[in-house]
Each structure stands twice: as C-alpha cells, then as structure tokens.
Amino acid sequence: MLVKQYTIKYIDTLNRELRASIVALSIDDALSKLSIAKTNFISASIEYKLNRGIPINSQLQILTRVAGGVLSGETVNQYLPSILDDFRVLKNNKALVLAEINKGKTLSELLSYLDINQLCVKIISNGERSGNLANSIKDAQHFLKLENKTQNATSKTLQSQLLILLLAFGLIFGFPSFVVDFYQQVTDNGMTIDHNLSTDILFFLNAFSIYGMVILTAIIIVIALQLKLFLKSFGGIYPISIFQSIITTKSAILFLSIFTPLFKTGMQTQQILSAYSTISHANANKLEKQITDGVSIADAVQNLTFSNTFKSGFKGFNRITNTQAKLDMLAELFSALVSDLETYNQQASLLIKIIANTLIYSILLILVHGFVLPQLSMGVAI
C-alpha cells in the first residue's frame, strides 16, 4: 500500500487524470500501464519526495522498508554516489559528503566546498530553495554532460592523429625532395644518373615539392575567403577569428544550459543573466546590459555573434506565454546548437589541418633546401 500511495502521489504531479485508474490497478499493473519499470521506481519516488523537501537520507530509510522488495537494499550510500560521480567528486570526498548529508547538511552547501563547477552548485541551491531539487540535480548533470560534449568537439582539432598526419605529409613530400636534390647536386659535380622510371618519379615529386607549397597556399586563401559560404548555418564568422568563433558558439550553448534550469526556478531574466555573467563567458555582459535597458531577448541576441540558428530560435520567444512551451523551445535550441557546433568543428578541423600541414611542409623545405643540401654539396665538392 505504501508503494501504491507514493506512486499515486508521484503520478498525480504529472497527470491528475490518471489518478482514478491507478487506484483501481495493482502496483505492477500501474507501473506497466505507465511504462515505469520496477527498477526505475526508486527514481520516481525519490524525485517526488525531493521536490517536497524531504532529505535524501530520510526518504531512503523509508523506501528501504517498502514491502515487496521493490527497493530492497537501496540506501543513501548506494544512490547518492552516482550523483557525486556525475559531479566529479573525488573518491576521498564521497565518504565525507555522505556523512555530512546524514547529519542534515544540504547537497549544494557540501558541493560548494569542493572543486565543483560553481554554476552546478547554484542550480542545485536554487532547486533546494524552490522545492525542486530532483529536477535541479538533473539539470546540473545535463549541464556537465553538455559542457563535456562541447569541450570534446572543440578539442578534436588538436588530437594526436593530426601530428601523425603532419609527420606522414613531411615524409612523403620532404624525403623525395631531399633525394632528388641530392642527385641533382651529384650531377652538377660531373656524375651521371640513368633516367629510368624510378628517377623520373623522384624528379616529378621534386617538382611538386617545389611548387606544391604555393598551390596549397592558394587553396587555403580560397577556402579562407569562402569560409562563410562553407558554414552557411553560422553568421558573423570570419577566418581571422576562427578560434573565437568556436568560443562564441560554445558560449551560446552554455548560455542556454544556464538559462533553462534557472528559468525553471522562476528567476527573472536580469537575475539569470547576472548569474551567467559571474562566470565570465563571452557576450554575457552585453546581453545583460541590453536586456536591462529594455531590449527584448530576441533583439539582444540578434545584435551578437551567435549562430543564425540561435538567433532565429529566439525570434518568437517573448511572444510565448506558456512556460512549458518556452522550455521546449530551449531544448530544441540545445540540439540545434550542438549539431551546428559539431558541423562547424569538422570544417574548422579540416581547415586547420591544411594550414598546419602547409606550415610543417614549408619548414621542412626550408630546412632541406637551406641547410641540409648546402652541407651535402660541400661534402660532394670536397
């Protein structure tokens, strides 16, 4: 009966119309009807009571005594560590946090003392004050996952395979150039070389080595001039600010990830942007100032260098009065921005690889033609 009681209360917060049907069903039938697995029931019950302000340790002590074995063996030491893992709490600090939670301390208070993203602490703290702790924990976890995904996307341009590619590029075009130039030096000193297929190939590669850098440089210039056309989904992006554009796009995503959970707590726009600006992300102060001056969110975003997807998504934002509709729109913008960022980074990574290859190749040519070959020439002459 206790399990059914908690189920009814939890489902009632989602949809009051289901209450009568749940009362008439067994707990198994109710969970099955609502597609809630028994193994996931602990999350439902915990969320319901977290949102009512019941401490984690107290509710879990109650849930462990539920008949039927649905929650058998679940204790605070089994549930909370998974949350702490998401918040990157070190192993040595987990025991301390668990002990302090059992003493009545709040989760946000404990996390604020640790090396945790302070924005996540703020989100959890807002949830504790508003009685919406469970959703705030989810929002904080989602923020961390989104931040990691963004960081991983931007770091792809600097991964180790790029160095391997550069090394292979230098060996393929630098070594034949060195060999052919060495043969040329030998010929200049009175020796002859049979022109067979092998030597002809080497001479061809040598010619490519000499003019290849010029050709690749021209290609880079063309790509740079047309970069904005390659990235039609982004606005205000220019080759000279390629890394800043990545940071700006990341800032837009972080802004949304911050805005969404704080918006759920009922905070005003100015307060949200103030919290956002404390972590010094690009464009936060500009947004805050414009909105404080009376500019709408949609117009303020239009004046900044966010992507066109982000700008267009906010055009009708202020005209929507339904809170859930606004949150749904923000969720869609999340997905669109992450997708745009990944596409952008693929294009940026390709351009960076071409530029880096050309630079390394140029350095190899300078070393071979300017230092190695003169030394070999002197040796042959002697």
Higher pLDDT, 26 or 372: 372
Mean pLDDT value of segment 11-39: 40
| DSSP structural state of residue 295 | -
Whole-Å CA distances, 183 to 179, 188, 374, 380:
6, 9, 13, 11
Long-range contacts of 193-199 (CB under 8 A, 24+ apart): none
Mean pLDDT value of segment 62-85: 42
Alpha carbon distance 103, 58 (integer Å): 11
Q: Tell me what pLDDT residue 106 has.
A: 75
Provide the pLDDT confidence category of residue 107 given band limits of 50, 70 and 90: confident
Q: Tell me what pLDDT residue 197 has.
A: 57
- In this structure, the dihedral spanned by the alpha carbons of residues 240, 284, 334 and 341, taken in order and rounded to 10 degrees, is 10
Alpha carbon distance 294, 89 (integer Å): 41
Alpha carbon distance 263, 226 (integer Å): 39
The winner for highest mean pLDDT among 105-114, 166-175, 193-202 is 105-114
Mean pLDDT value of segment 41-65: 42
Is residue 247's pLDDT more than 70? no
pLDDT digit string, tens, across residues 148-168 = 655 555 454 444 444 455 555
- In this structure, the dihedral spanned by the alpha carbons of residues 175, 178, 180 and 183, taken in order and rounded to 10 degrees, is -130
Whole-Å CA distances, 57 to 54, 127, 251, 296:
9, 17, 37, 44
Q: Tell me what pLDDT residue 122 has.
A: 76
Count the neighbouring beta carbons within 10 Å of the beta carbon of residue 32. 13
Count the neighbouring beta carbons within 10 Å of the beta carbon of residue 293. 8
Is residue 39's pLDDT more than 60? no
Mean per-residue pLDDT over the chain, rounded: 53
Q: Tell me what pLDDT residue 137 has.
A: 72
Alpha carbon distance 22, 146 (integer Å): 36
Non-local CB neighbours of 59 within 8 Å, separated by 6+ positions: 45, 46, 49, 50
> What is the pTM for the complete model shown?
0.30
Long-range contacts of 125-134 (CB under 8 A, 24+ apart): 126/261, 126/262, 126/265, 126/267, 127/261, 127/265, 129/265, 130/265, 130/266, 131/51, 131/52, 131/53, 132/51, 132/264, 132/265, 133/50, 133/51, 133/53, 133/107, 134/46, 134/47, 134/48, 134/50, 134/51
Count the neighbouring beta carbons within 10 Å of the beta carbon of residue 49. 22
Provide the pLDDT confidence category of residue 111 given band limits of 50, 70 and 90: confident
Is residue 110's pLDDT more than 70? yes
Q: Tell me what pLDDT residue 127 has.
A: 72
pLDDT digit string, tens, across residues 183-193 = 565 556 555 55
Is residue 124's pLDDT more than 70? yes
Q: Tell me what pLDDT residue 355 has.
A: 64
Alpha carbon distance 287, 252 (integer Å): 11
Q: Which of 150, 152, 153, 130 is nearest to 142 (CA)?
A: 150
